[in-house]
Amino acid sequence: MAYTESREKSAECLRTALGFMREHDAAFNPITYTVWYEYSAGVNARLNEALDLLKESDPRLGDASIQKLYREHIATVDEATMERISQDFARVMSGVAQTASATGERAGALGSRLDELSLALRESDVDELQSQLQEALRHTRTMRASTAELQAQVTQSQSEIERLKEDLDRAREAAFVDSLTLVLNRNGMDHHLAELVKTPPELGHAHCLILLDVDHFKVINEQHGHLMGDRVLATVGKVLRASVDAPEQKAARSGGEEFAILLPHSSLQEALELAERVRTRTKSMKLRNRHTNEVILTVTVSAGVTALQRGESPEDWLMRTTWALHRAKEAGRDRVEVDSGKAAA
């Protein structure tokens, strides 16, 4: 795995990884750190899925579990993933092309044999006719075998292409995932936002956007430290992942303590209800001291909700939603404000 995180982001991953390591029983060694670093960075979706599943049955992972995760999900990952995918795809397509070419040549040979057979029939040369029939039968059998070979090659190639697609999706997902909160990062958000603006909403629906901001986050960092600040952000990410359950909806960390939810083909009412649900769920979660179980703090968020207007650019849409968020902040925080501008039909 080639790590491309910036110094700031890798420091964030370091703090998060060390926090996870303290919660589990595995030794503090490079393998353990690598597992938790990739988990924290969100660059290895299969590792995250396997680790989350394992934690359900084993809340304090030991050396054996960590080493198994490392062997199965890290040690086998090729550092040049994209190059390998490209080469594998070219190999698959080359194999199909070669088999198809051979099949085409045999089909051409069969066509020539049939032309000769047709000529022999017209000339009524019995000996020549029998010879041509035998030759045509031979080419027919060859053609049948070539067709079967091509079909098998195509079937095998389809399976390989599906595997390559999964690898590509994994690579793209890693590039778009925020390391701390495990929702989309800003690049991922901008990508989906631009695509959404270009896609007309379904009749009777609108594209909606929610921006959320953690209230008094600077104070949290100052009074409780950056590790607690990271826990707060990770908690909000967890709330967002639990609240956004429709595949087309996307949750993102747009920067710092600010988050976003994109709701295609929705309505202002649905977006408002989702924003309220996230606000309520966040407020109900208590951050506790891991040793004493004492409640350290509760977290609230403010939110702004808008629907995309006809002809609006991603930048203008974001700005309008930001103003709705600012109104929620100015009105006392821990609330949702809606910009009810008419959505594009």
| Residues 24, 160 within the same domain | no
> Would residue 312 count as lying in a domain?
yes
| pLDDT score of 126 more than 80 | no
Last residue of a domain, one of 126, 150, 174: 174
Mean pLDDT of the chain: 80
| Residues 86, 68 within the same domain | no
Catalytic residue IDs: 257
Please state the domain count of the chain.
3
| Residues 205, 291 within the same domain | yes
| Residues 296, 198 within the same domain | yes
Where residue 166 falls among pLDDT bands split at 50, 70, 90? low
> Would residue 179 count as lying in a domain?
no
Last residue of a domain, one of 53, 73, 93: 73
Q: Give the tens place of pLDDT for each residue, 63-114.
A: 889 988 887 777 644 444 545 555 555 555 555 555 555 555 555 555 555 5
| Residues 92, 59 within the same domain | no
| Residues 258, 323 within the same domain | yes
| Residues 213, 324 within the same domain | yes
| Residues 135, 245 within the same domain | no
The residues that bridge with 297 in the sheet, in sequence order, are 287
> Would residue 280 count as lying in a domain?
yes
Higher pLDDT pick, 48 / 345: 48
| Residues 85, 159 within the same domain | yes
SS (H, E, C) the chain: CCCCCCHHHHHHHHHHHHHHHHHCCCCCCHHHHHHHHHHHHCCCHHHHHHHHHHHHHCCCCCHHHHHHHHHHHCCCCCCCHHHHHHHHHHHHHHHHHHHHHHHHHHHHHHHHHHHHHHHHHHHCCHHHHHHHHHHHHHHHHHHHHHHHHHHHHHHHHHHHHHHHHHHHHHHHHHHHECCCCCCECHHHHHHHHHHHHHCCCCCCCEEEEEEEEECCHHHHHHHHCHHHHHHHHHHHHHHHHHHCCCCCCEEEEEECCEEEEEEEEECHHHHHHHHHHHHHHHHHCEEECCCCCCEEEECCEEEEEEECCCCCCHHHHHHHHHHHHHHHHHCCCCCEEECCCCCCC
| pLDDT score of 220 more than 70 | yes
Q: Give the tens place of pLDDT for each residue, 237-276.
A: 999 999 998 889 999 999 899 999 999 999 999 999 999 9
| Residues 191, 283 within the same domain | yes
Range of the domain at 230: 186-338
Q: Give the tens place of pLDDT for each residue, 12-26.
A: 888 888 888 888 999
| Residues 197, 295 within the same domain | yes
pTM of this structure? 0.56
> What is the pLDDT at residue 77?
43
> What is the pLDDT at residue 13?
82
Last residue of a domain, one of 30, 53, 73: 73
> Would residue 246 count as lying in a domain?
yes
CATH of residue 264: 3.30.70.270
| Residues 195, 293 within the same domain | yes
| pLDDT score of 345 more than 50 | no
Determine the average pLDDT of the residues in 312-335. 95
> What is the pLDDT at residue 288?
77
